Amino acid sequence: MRITQLNHPRMAQAFVDYMATQGVRLRIEQDDHYYIVLDDETQVEMVENELQRFIRDPNHARYQAASWQAGHTGSGLRYQSGNLWGNIRARAGALTMSIMVACVAVFLLMQVAGDRTVMAWLAWPSGQAQYLQLWRWFSHALLHFSLLHILFNLLWWWYLGGAVEKRLGKGKLFVIMLISALLSGWMQAKFSGIWFGGLSGVVYALMGYCWLRGERDPQSGIFLERGLIAFAILWLVIGWFDAFGLSIANAAHVTGLLVGLAMALVDTRKVARR
């Protein structure tokens, strides 16, 4: 029986090698994905329990050690040759890629036309006269003010948003994005006025969502390592104390994180009951 599917051959092989050290024989079937197959169905409960632990922390040293102990070169896996664009597309769905392209296009436009000019078109509504310009409630997330700013946000968006879209569908990612952009933008406007921008409110929502979803529903395949969520919270603290003198949208970050946690809590309430 097929136990699960993984997108990365190394992850699939690591789990198979680890289970071999536990006396369970698994094999990998390769198609567009890598399917882990169990021949002895009497061992399914043990395998599923170990799979949940593996999904929570697939980079743990125990799995790398198992590959050295039980792995072999005749696994039959075919690794694709390295291709940066192909690797980006492999993790990112249509919505993830569309937002990345839109952010890059807006960033380039800001370099040509100037920040203030583009913000006059896309920034948070400045008053009642702009309230019906509905795109403004969300388009502030496309604005970025430096190369480091856009690279940081797009890397996290690709890493987390791509996983959510691939596992849960573009509808779920779209809802997380809209709600977090709206609420984080509203809170940041209350704190600092309308002259702000960036995808970081949405990114923090994805951080909170992926971490709590992985803790409460590991079988979903959505997770964020605890070390990374700790880093995210540390960065929040640094932002509040203005440790590096950077202009950081602290209110948007905190609001986004809370939105993501709340959405994960709602989405996993049935799992928690079981």
Which residue has 């960036």 as its token pair? 198
Residue 26 forms beta bridges with which residues? 38
Q: Among residues 139, 180, 184, 200, which one is catalytic?
A: 200
Query: Does residue 126 have an active-site annotation?
Result: no
Is the Cβ–Cβ distance between 149 and 198 less than 8 Å? Answer: yes
Neighbours of 103 (CB within 10 A): 20
What one-character-per-residue DSSP string does 23-81 give?
T--EEEEESSSEEEEES-GGGHHHHHHHHHHHHH-TT-HHHHHHHHHH--TTS---PPP
Cα angle, residue 226 at apex, residues 169 and 152 outer, rounded to 5°: 65
Q: What is the DSSP letter of 242?
A: T
Is the Cβ–Cβ distance between 50 and 102 less than 8 Å? Answer: no
Q: What is the DSSP letter of 138?
A: H
Q: Among residues 140, 144, 149, 253, which one is catalytic?
A: 253
Q: How far apart are the first and last CA of the chain?
A: 24
The number of angstroms, rounded, from the C-alpha of 182 to the middle of its chain's C-alpha atoms is 19
Encoded amino acid at 5, one letter? Q
Is the Cβ–Cβ distance between 203 and 256 less than 8 Å? Answer: yes
Query: Does residue 98 have an active-site annotation?
Result: no
Distance CA 111, CA 108 (A): 5
Encoded amino acid at 267, one letter? D
State the catalytic residues.
200, 253
